[in-house]
Amino acid sequence: MTDELAVIGVECFGHHGVLEFEKREGQRFVIDLVLGMDTAAAAESDDLHDTVDYGSLVTQVKACVETDPVDLIETLARRIADVCLLGDRVEWARVTVHKPDAPIDATFSDVALTITRKREGP
């Protein structure tokens, strides 16, 4: 059985996008994380060392978004998933990158990409 830990709505400011002004001016990105993991050991021990320190994880995710601009949210989402999977307790990560201020010439509420990545073999 896999449990799920979610951290929803992490606001970041990044300079990602295909258009030059997106890289120059930057914009808001909102990140949702869902991590698949077994929480039984942490529930038994009540020790942070037996689970994912989501405070530290959010700091690392914000650093992913706020540095090293890329063109596509697909690339950004993969980068974030890779960070989530660094912890050996995480079996899989579902990452949603929201780009609510994307340069679209229409009224819309959000652009979002969700990816799920699993830990590579042993």
Give the CATH number, domain containing residue 80.
3.30.1130.10
The amino acid at residue 60 is Q
Which amino acid type is present at position 23? K
Catalytic residue among 23, 62, 99, 118: 99
pLDDT digits (tens, 9 = 90+) for 10-51: 999 999 999 999 999 999 999 999 999 999 999 999 999 999
Distance CA 110, CA 120 (A): 31
**99 carries an active-site annotation:** yes
pTM of the model: 0.93
Please give the average per-residue pLDDT across 92-104, as a whole number: 96
Q: Residue 96: which domain range?
A: 3-118
- Give the total number of structural domains in the chain: 1
